[in-house]
Structure 1
Amino acid sequence: MCSLFDVDDHAGIERFIEEHGIHHPQQMIFGRRRRPTSKVSIVTARHGEPAVENAIWHLYLQRDGDDWKPHKKYWSINSNWKKLGQRPEYRKSRCLIPATAWVESQHGEHPVEFCFGNHKPFFFCGLYKTWGETVSCSIITLDAHPDTRKYHEKSFPMIAPDDDAFIEHWLGPGEDIMPFEPYLHADKEIGGEPLYVQPVRRATATEYVGSRQEV
């Protein structure tokens, strides 16, 4: 599962967003080690044009007075690709989640940071829901890539190809999900940049304890 990720404001991510024709990049929430249930930035086209907005990283919410909070019975920061067919959000409410890196660990041990190239920005593929004025989201997870199973044996986040046609279709209103089938597998390269891994002291820490290596 993906449970921590970075949105590093020194990585040119605003430029990356603008290059893909996404509006309101000034609304981006930056920071390293973004945690579940916190506010994160996502991209939707629910108002007609692709735009940055902010969401709670936990798909299912429950009432908390006049507000909404993560549902305590349904841990939903990730959406497993095998269950996407059961989720109406996959047909109707797809989003992108900007990032520059993410952290995984095997059974809570030996955490590592993943990134593409020199922290090239990318988009996680995700789902979103609306709860009145509040928006929530999850990251879609795929089966682990054979070369990443030693870091996390079960899963790998779904990452959008650096392709405007895919992004337009993913964010669009069309409910035909068949064109997404070829992308439901882990990819170690995005936009010509290979995947790298580097050990960190703790999953939530930004201190490295080993060299960066290509996966």
Structure 2
Amino acid sequence: MCGRLSITDSPGVRALCDQMEIALWPDDGQIFTRFARATQRISVVFERDGQRIMRNAIWWLLLDKTHDEGGRSVLRPSKYTSFNTRYDKLNTPRSAGYQAFRQQRCAIPVRGFGESQKTREGMHYHDMVVAEEGAMAMGGLYRVWDYTDDRGERRQAISCSVVTLPPHPKLQAIHQKSTPLMLSETDGSLDRWLDAGTTDSDALNDLLTPCIRHPLNAVPIDRPSSHNPIGESFTIQKDR
């Protein structure tokens, strides 16, 4: 279960964004942070009308319209957990990700991601970043929410999730339940995922097999908030 992302302002992340040929950028700029967690805003890229667009989205696919303490209408994360979307739900009609998998796929440029695992000794945390100052893209889904605020003005919000796949053998010591969908510009997986012209889900099913597409440096840390290394880092080699 991918629960945190590293989106630092690094040469690798900027180079990946340049390679993606983004035509329209967020008005408030791309979001960079070492530690992004679910329900926070992150920058996502998707295709619309033949152009690649970056927008800042809430990392929680399902939103509910509610009111803040001042009584104003706002959109907030739903009570239903949806920061990740499991691969086996993508082809389940009426599931949250069914239509988005066919029509609203996005990519999230990141430096790396973090995972946790519970053992008898307690929780263990690892941060994994692409080696040599590189970057990767997480495969995700997005939704667009239109609503009217208290002034009667039309507003729009974007939400997103990360697609998670079955566990990967190379990550068994780090996280045993799932693997995030990792995409690469080099092998064509990123372009295929973003192609808005692909609406036949069968054409993307091979991407739902766990694959490490970049060499990853894994670092054991004490906890995500303090991010102190507590052991030697090691390299997880890419699959191809």
- Is 1:195 the counterpart of 2:216? The answer is yes
The 1:144/1:164 distance shift into structure 2, 3 A limit, reads closer
- Is 1:77 the counterpart of 2:101? The answer is no
Choose from 102, 124, 129 the match for 2:138: 124
Choose from 196, 205, 215 the match for 2:226: 205
Between 1:147-156 and 1:163-172, the stretch displaced more is 163-172
Cα shift at 1:115: 1.7
- On the 8 A contact 1:5/1:102 being kept in 2, the answer is yes
- Percent of residue pairs bearing the same amino acid type: 29
- Report the equivalent of 2:20: 20
Uncovered stretches (5+) of structure 1, i.e. residues with no partner: none
The 1:112/1:164 distance shift into structure 2, 3 A limit, reads closer
Cα shift at 1:45: 1.3
- On the 8 A contact 1:104/1:203 being kept in 2, the answer is no
Choose from 74, 96, 102 the match for 1:67: 74
Uncovered stretches (5+) of structure 2, i.e. residues with no partner: 68-72, 93-97, 147-155
Q: CA RMSD for the aligned pairs? A: 1.8
- On the 8 A contact 1:129/1:137 being kept in 2, the answer is yes
What secondary structure, in the 3-state scheme, does the structure 2 residue paired with 1:89 have? Answer: helix
Supply the AA of the counterpart residue of 1:51. I
**Rg: which structure is higher?**
2
- On the 8 A contact 1:128/1:136 being kept in 2, the answer is yes
CA-to-partner distance for each residue in 1:15-71, whole Å, 9 max, x for gaps? Answer: 221122123457210011101101100001135411211000000000023221000
**Alignment length (residue pairs):** 211
- On the 8 A contact 1:58/1:77 being kept in 2, the answer is yes
Cα shift at 1:78: 0.2
- Is 1:103 the counterpart of 2:93? The answer is no
The 1:164/1:17 distance shift into structure 2, 3 A limit, reads farther
Cα shift at 1:150: 1.6
TM-score (norm 2): 0.82
- On the 8 A contact 2:182/2:212 being kept in 1, the answer is no
For residues 83-98 of structure 1, what are the structure 2 equivalents within 5 Å? 83-86=89-92, 87-98=98-109
- Report the equivalent of 1:186: 210
TM-score (norm 1): 0.91
Supply the AA of the counterpart residue of 1:110. H
The 1:159/1:6 distance shift into structure 2, 3 A limit, reads same
Between 1:20-29 and 1:37-46, the stretch displaced more is 20-29
